[in-house]
Amino acid sequence: MPKRAAAFKTLIAIPAFNEEASIGAVLKDLRDHHPLEHVVVIDDGSRDATSQIALAAGVRVIRHPINLGVGAAMGTAFRYAARHNYQALVQVDADGQHRPEFLSLLLDQVGSADIVIGSRFANGANSPAPGPAGPSKGSSPPPFPRTRNHASRMSRPAFA
């Protein structure tokens, strides 16, 4: 039987570049669904107040001195997760398009698959992205997660 999400130490990683307009609201919404002590913002060379707002919200911030792109930001997040013994990592975008109230749907699948991907387009649906202002009134939950387990279990993380 797979482990439940509560059994996994889970990091929420937020790659951010010049997101001062939205990062505060994203973190405020997120705190109702995940402990902020397990959230890291990867500030990818922002020239605005992204880092300061995230720090004021009480999360850890790792700054890149220049913009390296979302791939590098997530690489930093994976290394941070490995060094701090996290067993699962969820990427949440800093612009507010990922709805934290659906984190539990993703996390409930952790342990039953090697990777879990949430999509508002799964099963042919087209649920609108809410953006920093939040979800539109009357919007229904996205039809995710869909899980597949094609790869064999790894004995240690590939990013370690």
pLDDT at 35: 92
Strand partners, 90: 12
CB 96 within 8 A of CB 131: yes
Q: Is the peptide bond before 143 cis (omega within 30 degrees of 0)?
A: no
Confidence class for position 27, pLDDT limits 50, 70, 90: very high
For the chain, give the mean pLDDT.
79
44-78 per-position pLDDT tens digit:
999 999 999 999 999 999 999 999 999 999 999 99
pLDDT at 146: 40
pLDDT at 133: 43
Strand partners, 148: 115
Please give the structure tokens belonging to residue 97.
Answer: 């398009």
Domains of the chain: 8-148 (3.90.550.10)
pLDDT at 80: 97
Residue of 120 and 160 predicted with greater confidence? 120
CB 5 within 8 A of CB 16: no
CB 115 within 8 A of CB 88: no
pLDDT at 108: 86
Is the model's pLDDT at 84 over the cut of 50?
Answer: yes
Strands (E), the chain: 10-16, 39-44, 60-64, 88-91, 115-117, 146-148
- Window from 33-42, 70-79, 140-149 with minimum mean pLDDT: 140-149
Confidence class for position 99, pLDDT limits 50, 70, 90: confident
Statement: the pTM of the whole predicted model exceeds 0.85: no
Q: How far apart are CA 53 and CA 7, in angstroms?
A: 31
pLDDT at 56: 98
